Structure 1
Amino acid sequence: MKQFFKFVFATVVGIIIASIIPIIVIIGIISVASSDKAVEVDANSILHIKIAYPVNERTPNNPFAGLSFLGLDGEKAIGLNDILASIKKAKKDDNIKGIFLDESYMMSGQATTEEIRNGLIDFKKSGKFVVAYSEIYTQGFYYLASVADKVYINPKGIFEFRGFASEITFLKGALDKLGIEAQIIKVGTYKSAVEPYFLTKMSDANRLQVTSYLGSMYDHFLTGISKNRNINKDSLFNLANNGTIQEPEDALKYKLVDGLKYKDEILADLKTRTGITEKKDLHSVELADYMKSDAKKDNEEAGTTKNRIAVVYASGEINGGDGDDNSIGSEAISKAIRKVRLDDKVKAVVLRVNSPGGSSLASDVIWREVMLTKKVKPVIVSMGDVAASGGYYIACAADSIYAEPNTITGSIGIFAVLPNLQKLFNDKLGITFDGVKTGKFADLGDVSRPLTPEERAILQKSVNHGYDAFTKAVADGRGKTQAYINSIGQGRVWTGSQALKIGLVDKLGNINDAVKSAAKKANLKEYKLVTYPEQKSILNKFGEGLSTEVKAHFVKAELGENYRYYEQIKGVTQMMRTPQARMPYDVVIK
């Protein structure tokens, strides 16, 4: 019931906020006066990294970044691309002596955290230091911080170390009270996206798959900490399983951290490390500012070669239309892939997929462009946090696929949901319907009545056809038989590590590994990276309806972590339009 109230709260607040946003759009745009001037980095500086915002694939072209008004926090959100680029640049920057990881909440997926973590490990190869500090260590931030040379916590702080948990919200009880029946048509034993609408708890098959992939992710989590903190993995498991870590002193006792310190002590330590006297200010540069430092020099170092490798970002749910920075529109992504295919300067393509899927039709449209592109130039896929269902569909035609060990992938299956609102209309609202039709199936899909057996058979045939096309595309792309793909399909979700073993991915690695692979396959020694789809300017967005993006910005700011409930409710209406190739649900690990 608590989850139901969260849904209601998120929806009501979202509607209220969205209704007032148009009034302040102009005020907000006028108020944005952030400077894009390059920042000079002083000698003996530290790069200050504080990630307290959701990390998207690319830094958004957001007019409200850096803006604070009406009580909303306008902290600039940095994309994964610029976080990784900044860490890489800092490794070679003589003015940067080390990195300070500070109070980060890591509101990002497991694979995104993994890529940043690997970037820090590479940074340390320069001999420079990484120091981590927080008053509150979530498990996500601790996993990131565990690579640091020194990990400190506030003496009165909070240290979370208790294992992973995944929770699903079931809506059947609420739907029953409202008189709504979710009519389910699906293919795949494990395709459990529809379970919340007709069950009150997880099916046995779903419990099996969640236990499997959650266990795989947790094993990778413990292995990484074990390696960097030099603590036996079994010991780490027991510490979490027994609830041993209750206070910061416990974390210190079992060597999860190196010391209990207040912020002033950390700053004093950083001054000592960088050779700054006690009475002088620490030389520090924020991540958002460091992105803009020596921009001209960075461009010059890119060289003059005409060869290009195109990175096409496909992030978010898949639907028809143009989409935006946080969703995949089949029209926009197809156009981008088609453009790089026809561009002779582009010698290879990296398709960056971070998507739980969505419309099966839109996924197929994108898959077609990937397949055509592979015939004329190399296509390498790099998977982010999630590349499942439709997200895997658009990836499967590539020459090779890279995933992180904790990427969520697979979920090869199709489903459709059609609501029957007859009891809601008749019994709850007293509304009835009547009409005429010229054909037996003219009103197929009418939500005011239940499906007839013949109508259900028609829809099931359509879903079966979609699943057959899906498994055939995967079989052709992966060089497997369709029967084998069906055996590992059925909607089942896998981690990247598991997917490697069963042949759904080729290698474990990050986006940089995928770029290197693309360069090697295209026989390129020098190249420039170009990114698609092009991120639109403020004026473009305003002319096309900036208010939608602005509304999302303010709703997110107000709802925080509850924003996902608001998004789930919006997603229900989309799932009832066309057959879906999408994840069983949004994976939330606690």
Structure 2
Amino acid sequence: MKDFFKYVFATVIGIVISTVVLAIIFMVVIFSAISSIGEDKPVEVKNNSVLYIDLDQAITERTPTNSLAGLPIIGGSDVKSIGFYDLIKALKAAKTDDKIDCIYLNVSAPNAGMATMLEVRNALLDFKESKKPIIAYSEVYSQGAYYLASVANKVYLNPQGALEFKGFSSELTFFKGALDKLGVEAQIIRVGNYKSAVEPFINTKMSDYNRQQVTAYVNGLYQTFLQGISQTRKISTDSLALLANDYKIQQPKDALAYRMVDGLRYKDEVLDELKTITGKNKKENITSIPLNKYAQKLPASTSGSPSQVAVIYANGDIVGGEGSDEQIGSERISRAIRKARLDDDIKAIVLRVNSGGGSALASDVIWREIVLSKKVKPVIASFGDVAASGGYYIGCAADSIFVQPNTITGSIGVFGIIPNFQNLLNNKLGITFDGVKTGQYADIMSTNRPLTPGERFIIQNDVNHVYDSFITRVADGRKKTKAQVDSIGGGHVWTGSDAVKIGLADRLGSFNDAIKAAAKKAKLSDYQIVEYPEKIDPWKSFITEAKDNAHVYFAKKEFGENYLLYKQMQKAIVNSGIQARMDYEIKIK
């Protein structure tokens, strides 16, 4: 027995020591991975190089400072990502880089919005002015992938591959039937017939107002898509529309017959062509450099001028507090704007918005900082894929607003959703409530009973007040009357092209155009670009992303293709306060 306890004790001690040692090793690995983030590693570009561009990665607003790729964390992503502006700067540098002979473009299913893809496409078009060829190859082209690849001098498709070309569709998911079965009532308070963010919870199909606006903006996005392809493939937009409408591109040979591609090739044949372009024989290896690495070697600024233009990125849902790199936290973004306003070296501000909105209160906090900044230096807004509802709110005070033709914007309206779980709790689960209160409105916003007429009146007044503030802000910023703004507001969603026509935006233009306009307004000929807000500390980001990635990993594994529905329901549940948002995601199929 004495020996037994001795061995048990020794075993326990061994397990404890092993656990501690493993924990130390684990922390050393993590610390090394985190601390290496952002280290400058020399990137060599050899003569006669091919710039390899893999666009099957997330094209984000900013290149992340820290990636969890390769870290021992559940759900850690191995997916690369690059900020679209870093991508554009890399293409601009490659245009005049004597060591870059051509571009090899690989894209099957890009992870980017329509306006972002237009920015990238235009940057590729600019590169072509160097007379250096772009060769695109893929086994499968989605519609978005083909939109990008169609820029290339040569577009090749695998002989057994596929090219998707069928037109756009937009599908909304409605939850009312499920809520009815659960016994949950979504009590809606809103302003604007077009404010359709609430429709999934109260309807089983689109309202006439929503169908009208969705039809308009989907057609607008489609026309931009067709015009781009028409420009580079020399096929009329009418012919392209017919090909899509009749689903003519069913086999690779169809894509070749209708001049959508230049050839059906296997990858080895494409590589042989790249060798010929770069002066290699067939036995030699191609000298190439990935875009992501090439972008790393570029200097932050090529100007020695002390004058600066600050770019402030406002990306994601608008929330109160600090937010994150993928959220617009009112405290964090307003602090960044304030810092740029008070810095005498910063002569102009560009607010880059990519947001479907969020908290109306948080939007107003950010709007206030833009108004104050506009009084002391130029402020230009650049709208990305989406700058709608609260996303439009925060940018409406800018001196000038730049949009892409396929930017989604507007949606000037507000709403609130107060769920009533009484039927579910009382009749289905047998849960009841009782209590006391000191006033008839002490338990206003209770979710275990329906709103009283008095409560609904109070909340509607609050929503009306927020909407009135919203259209007042827009009217002041856009030099219009409140009546004029109301006539194009009411929650109506517009494309960038239409927004310029009705005065919600000033110019069609790229992010670079917005920066140049800011510099011109500040009378700058030489300047540096500085970016705000500062990216979140890698350790904090690591911890947050680890938790979030694990959650997303298990949710995606559980729900599969229905993950988007889960995400929408989750967002509706956690939203608090009056919302100025497009609460559904536009997904073009």
> What is the TM-score when the length of structure 2 is the normalising length?
0.92
CA distance in 1, matches of 2:560, 2:26: 21
| Residue matched to 1:5 | none
Which structure 2 residues correspond to residues 90-169 of structure 1 after superposition, within 5 A?
90-169=94-173
- Once the 2 structures are TM-superposed, how far is the Cα of residue 227 of structure 1 from its aligned partner? 1.1
Change (3 A) 1:556 1:64: farther
- Once the 2 structures are TM-superposed, how far is the Cα of residue 58 of structure 1 from its aligned partner? 0.3
Which structure 2 residues correspond to residues 100-499 of structure 1 after superposition, within 5 A?
100-293=104-297, 295=298, 298-299=299-300, 302-499=302-499
| Residue matched to 1:8 | none
- Once the 2 structures are TM-superposed, how far is the Cα of residue 552 of structure 1 from its aligned partner? 6.3
- Once the 2 structures are TM-superposed, how far is the Cα of residue 569 of structure 1 from its aligned partner? 2.6
- Once the 2 structures are TM-superposed, how far is the Cα of residue 385 of structure 1 from its aligned partner? 0.3
Please give the per-residue CA displacement for 1:528-572, whole angstroms capped at 9, x wherever unaligned. 000000012323435x75544544675698688765334323211
Name the amino acid aligned to 1:379.
V
Alignment RMSD: 2.2
Name the amino acid aligned to 2:349.
V
- Once the 2 structures are TM-superposed, how far is the Cα of residue 331 of structure 1 from its aligned partner? 0.6
Q: Contact conserved, 1:411 with 1:584, CA < 8 A, in 2?
A: no
| Residue matched to 1:15 | none
- SS in structure 1 of the partner of residue 395 of structure 2: coil
* Count of residues in Structure 1 that have an aligned counterpart in Structure 2: 563
After TM superposition, the structure 1 stretch with the greater mean CA deviation from structure 2, 104-113 or 359-368, is: 104-113
| Residue matched to 2:581 | 582
Please give the per-residue CA displacement for 1:286-314, whole angstroms capped at 9, x wherever unaligned. 11211223x4xx35x62321101000000
Name the amino acid aligned to 1:483.
A
CA distance in 1, matches of 2:72, 2:92: 30
- SS in structure 2 of the partner of residue 323 of structure 1: coil
Name the amino acid aligned to 1:216.
G
> Rg bigger for which structure?
2
- Once the 2 structures are TM-superposed, how far is the Cα of residue 73 of structure 1 from its aligned partner? 5.4
- SS in structure 2 of the partner of residue 455 of structure 1: helix
Please give the per-residue CA displacement for 1:68-107, whole angstroms capped at 9, x wherever unaligned. 8779651321121221121111112111111111134112
Change (3 A) 1:320 1:70: closer
Please give the per-residue CA displacement for 1:336-364, whole angstroms capped at 9, x wherever unaligned. 00000000000000000000000111101
CA distance in 1, matches of 2:27, 2:414: 43
Q: Contact conserved, 1:31 with 1:67, CA < 8 A, in 2?
A: no
- Once the 2 structures are TM-superposed, how far is the Cα of residue 428 of structure 1 from its aligned partner? 1.2
Please give the per-residue CA displacement for 1:498-547, whole angstroms capped at 9, x wherever unaligned. 101101110011110000000000000111000000012323435x7554
Change (3 A) 1:28 1:324: farther
| Residue matched to 1:59 | 63
Name the amino acid aligned to 2:312.
V
Name the amino acid aligned to 1:272.
T
CA distance in 1, matches of 2:386, 2:540: 29
Unaligned 5+ segments in structure 1 are 1-21
> What is the TM-score when the length of structure 1 is the normalising length?
0.92
CA distance in 2, matches of 1:341, 1:254: 54
Name the amino acid aligned to 1:527.
Y
Change (3 A) 1:311 1:111: same
After TM superposition, the structure 1 stretch with the greater mean CA deviation from structure 2, 126-135 or 432-441, is: 126-135
- SS in structure 1 of the partner of residue 339 of structure 2: helix
CA distance in 2, matches of 1:25, 1:392: 45
CA distance in 2, matches of 1:194, 1:174: 15
- SS in structure 1 of the partner of residue 58 of structure 2: coil
CA distance in 1, matches of 2:152, 2:525: 33
After superposing on structure 2, the runs of 4+ consecutive aligned residues of structure 1 that deviate more than 4 Å are 24-28, 33-36, 66-73, 552-563
Change (3 A) 1:555 1:404: farther
| Residue matched to 2:10 | none
Q: Contact conserved, 1:191 with 1:584, CA < 8 A, in 2?
A: no
CA distance in 2, matches of 1:470, 1:314: 19
Q: Alignment identity in percent? A: 56
Name the amino acid aligned to 1:205.
Y
